[in-house]
């Protein structure tokens, strides 16, 4: 089989566009054009490049293990950041839902299964029985970036899809994750509605806001974690409080997760850099602190990465020294910033990768909460 056919078949098998595949392979600014020429037989990759192409995503890193201690489902799954720690702890994922087609692609190549689509169209009775429900339900309705519309936003009502499934399936426990602004949204009433609905199902519910930087993550990301246990299946007295993991305060250094050889395409243009500088001056003149944020290898951690990072990278720019414009993080650096393992496959374009990691979770924080949840479930289960 000729080289160009092998490359085309590899890409087709993965379900990737030429842009996706070129970015995923780290081919640089002209990568899509080069890949197109290879597929058309106009030029050929070197032996080393060909080996890199054929080895890409040749293994699925997070297939369900053979022996499972418990079963769970992964709702609003994104790219599976919440799933990874629970699978590490011996869990088997028996159902997944995620509507975004690009996130589905990343999920499929990492976990070996295609998530179901729109959760509102799924009959809860068709979901296999499980022990734990996981859901990083949409945060935009409660976040600053989403204008905090809450339940007035149709995405905000997706919590009630979680309630519907809990009511039907009665899991022993659940873990929900959202932005910290949920705690104060509508003067706390939105969170109280959520908790009351879960209480009405006869579940114990507790919540806390945890800061990723306190758990060895190179990012100042604060999120609310809501934990629940079914009172009919676990022994819980009225004074019980869930033991959220204590901060480790592990020192971090940004340089430890930065790549040494970064393609020039991640350096922001003169025009964009001048725009950042101008907007920062305008904000300073108005007396507020908005504008870009710049970091270097010695910084302990960064701002929170968001799904809008692909637009201009303003919340996290990396200093490249005097006389050089700063650069954006690479997708792999974004993965590290969220604590994803190095084996995690990034099979999409840079733009989609930025959105996916910006929407995802700090895996080490979830891992710490997951350990506590599993320990407590084993201890309290009737």
The string of pLDDT tens digits covering residues 66-113 is 578 999 999 999 999 999 999 999 999 999 999 999 999 999 999 999
Query: Which DSSP helix (H) or strand (E) runs through 211?
Result: strand 203-211
pLDDT at site 153: 44
3-state class of 295 per DSSP? strand
Give the tens place of pLDDT for each residue, 102-112. Answer: 999 999 999 99
Q: What percent of the chain has pLDDT over 70?
A: 94
Predicted local distance difference test score (pLDDT) of residue 349? 93
Q: For 251-302, what is each residue's pLDDT tens digit?
A: 999 999 999 999 999 999 999 999 999 988 887 877 776 778 999 999 999 9
Cα distances (angstroms) measured from residue 251 to each of 81, 213, 248: 23, 9, 9
Active site residues: 139
Residue 284 CB: number of other CB atoms within 10 A?
A: 12
Superfamily of domain 254-351: DNA Methylase, subunit A, domain 2 (3.90.120.10)
> How many angstroms separate the CA atoms of 42 and 50, rounded?
15
Report, as an integer, the average pLDDT of 198-216: 97
Report the predicted TM-score, pTM, of the whole model to 2 decimal places.
0.91
User: CATH 3.40.50.150 spans which residues of the chain?
Assistant: 70-249+361-380
How many Å apart are CA 254 and CA 256, to the nearest integer?
Answer: 5
Of residues 302, 303, 314, 306, the one with CA closest to residue 272: 314
**CATH fold of 3-55, please?**
434 Repressor (Amino-terminal Domain) (1.10.260)
Residues 232-257 have pLDDT tens digits of: 999 999 899 999 999 999 999 999 99
The helix or strand, by DSSP H or E, that contains position 173, with its residue range, turns out to be: strand 173-179
Structure-token match 């904000």, residue found:
283
The distance in angstroms from the start CA to the end CA of the chain is 60
Q: Does domain 70-249+361-380 have CATH number 3.30.70.20?
A: no
* pLDDT value of residue 146: 45
- Angle at alpha carbon of residue 50, lines to 46 and 54, rounded to 5°: 175
Question: What are the start and end residues of each CATH 1.10.260 domain in the chain?
Answer: 3-55
Determine contact, residues 34/82, Cβ cutoff 8 Å.
no
**Distance between CA atoms of 100 and 220, rounded to whole angstroms?**
26
Say which residues have a Cβ less than 8 Å from residue 204's Cβ, sequence separation at least 6. 228, 229, 231, 234, 236, 240
Residue with tokens 């339940």: 151
For the cut 80, the answer to whether the pLDDT of residue 226 exceeds it is yes
All CATH 3.90.120.10 domain ranges of the chain, comma separated, are 254-351
Instruction: Give the C-alpha separation, 123 to 328, whole Å.
Output: 42
Give the 3-state secondary structure of residue 210.
Answer: strand
pLDDT at 218: 97
How high is the mean pLDDT of the chain? 91
Query: 100-158, pLDDT tens digit by residue?
Result: 999 999 999 999 999 998 899 999 999 999 999 999 987 555 545 444 454 454 345 78
């Amino acid at each position: 089989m000729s080289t160009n056919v092998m490359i085309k078949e590899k890409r087709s098998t993965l379900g990737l566009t030429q842009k996706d595949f070129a970015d995923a392979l780290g081919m640089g600014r002209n990568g899509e054009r080069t890949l197109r020429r290879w597929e058309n037989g106009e030029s050929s990759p070197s032996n080393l490049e060909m080996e890199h192409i054929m080895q890409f995503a040749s293994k699925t890193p997070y297939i369900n293990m053979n022996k499972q201690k418990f079963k769970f489902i992964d709702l609003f799954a994104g790219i599976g950041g919440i799933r990874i720690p629970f699978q590490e702890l011996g869990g088997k994922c028996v159902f997944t839902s995620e509507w975004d087609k690009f996130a589905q692609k990343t999920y499929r190549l990492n976990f070996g299964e295609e998530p179901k689509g729109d959760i509102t169209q799924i009959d809860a009775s068709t979901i296999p029985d499980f022990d734990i429900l996981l859901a990083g339900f949409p945060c935009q309705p409660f976040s600053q970036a989403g204008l905090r519309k809450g339940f007035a936003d149709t995405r905000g009502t997706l919590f009630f899809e979680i309630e519907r499934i809990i009511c039907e399936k009665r899991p022993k426990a659940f873990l929900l994750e959202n932005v910290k602004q949920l705690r104060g949204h509508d003067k706390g009433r939105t969170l109280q509605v959520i908790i009351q609905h879960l209480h009405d199902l006869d579940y114990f519910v507790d919540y806390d806001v945890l800061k990723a930087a306190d758990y060895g993550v190179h990012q100042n990301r604060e999120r609310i974690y809501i934990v629940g246990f079914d009172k009919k299946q676990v022994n819980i007295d009225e004074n019980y409080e869930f033991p959220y993991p204590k901060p480790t305060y592990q020192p971090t250094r940004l340089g430890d997760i930065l790549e040494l050889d970064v393609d020039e395409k991640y350096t922001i243009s003169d025009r964009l850099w001048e725009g950042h500088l101008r907007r920062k001056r305008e904000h300073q003149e108005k007396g507020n602190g908005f504008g870009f944020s710049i970091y270097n290898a010695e910084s302990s951690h960064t701002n929170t990465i968001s799904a809008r990072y692909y637009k201009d990278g303003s919340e996290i720019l990396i200093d490249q020294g005097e006389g050089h414009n700063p650069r954006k993080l690479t997708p792999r650096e974004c993965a590290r910033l969220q604590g994803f393992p190095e084996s995690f496959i990034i099979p999409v374009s840079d733009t989609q990768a930025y959105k996916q990691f910006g929407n995802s979770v700090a895996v080490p924080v979830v891992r710490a909460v997951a350990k506590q949840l599993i320990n407590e479930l084993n201890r309290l289960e009737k």
